[in-house]
Amino acid sequence: MSISLIVGLGNPGTRYVATRHNVGFWLVDQLADHAQTPFRQESKFQGEVCRIVLNNTPLWLLKPTTFMNRSGQSIGAMANFYNIMPEQILVVHDELDLACGNVKLKQGGGHGGHNGLRDTVAHLGSNKFSRLRIGIDHPREKGMNSPVADYVLKSPSKEDLEKINDVITASLAVMPQIIAGGNEFQKAMKTLHS
């Protein structure tokens, strides 16, 4: 099934813009920039919304403004309004269990302790949406003993930022395949995972 809604997860407001938790926002912002279409605040979806066309395919982009832990409220509201099935949704988010510079694409699965995903599963009543997981490293892998909550709300180092941006660029390059679904989605997965 093809994708009709891409959701970037993050936290609203200037103090969070450059933080690791906002990598989902970074990717959908680039999609909107490439399409030269600005986001607009949509109160009924508790988020910023944008309509673009990618490879002749109309797509919704969403940045929930509910804060990360309540992302599902926004995603659920938009999916319900436009009759978008969970299988037609791609959620882009930060992933502690992947090293910086790594990315994983998958369909369905658990929330892995990610509060934004947990809330999304709860509000969609399904875990069958696709995920684009962008690695941000775990603080313990870096020899840091800072709590995860502090770590994700800080900006990555210059070196890590370069790796994250490379992964976003690679993901955007295969986005037409991702949104096509089916075999094309599988091809995009192979490309990204190699």
More confident residue, 21 or 143: 21
Active site residue 123: no
Distances from the Cα of 70 to the Cα of 55, 63, 122, angstroms: 31, 12, 10
In the predicted model, is pLDDT for residue 53 greater than 80?
Answer: yes
pLDDT at residue number 140: 80
Angle between helices 115-124 and 71-81 (to 10 degrees): 30
Q: pLDDT for 55-100, tens place per residue? A: 999 999 999 999 999 999 999 999 999 999 999 999 999 999 999 9
3-state helix, strand, coil in the chain (%, to 5): 45, 20, 30
Q: Which domains, from first to last, does the chain contain?
A: 5-193 (3.40.50.1470)
pLDDT at residue number 145: 79
pLDDT at residue number 141: 76
In the predicted model, what is the mean pLDDT of the chain? 95
- What's the whole-model pTM score? 0.96
Q: pLDDT for 123-172, tens place per residue? A: 999 999 999 999 999 888 777 777 888 999 999 999 999 999 999 999 99
- Token output for 143: 């020899």
Number of residues written out for the chain: 194
DSSP bridge partners of 58: 53
- Token output for 174: 């295969």
pLDDT at residue number 149: 86
| Whether 19 contacts 11, CB under 8 Å | yes
Show contacts of 36-41: CB within 8 Å, 24+ apart: 39/63, 41/65
More confident residue, 140 or 183: 183
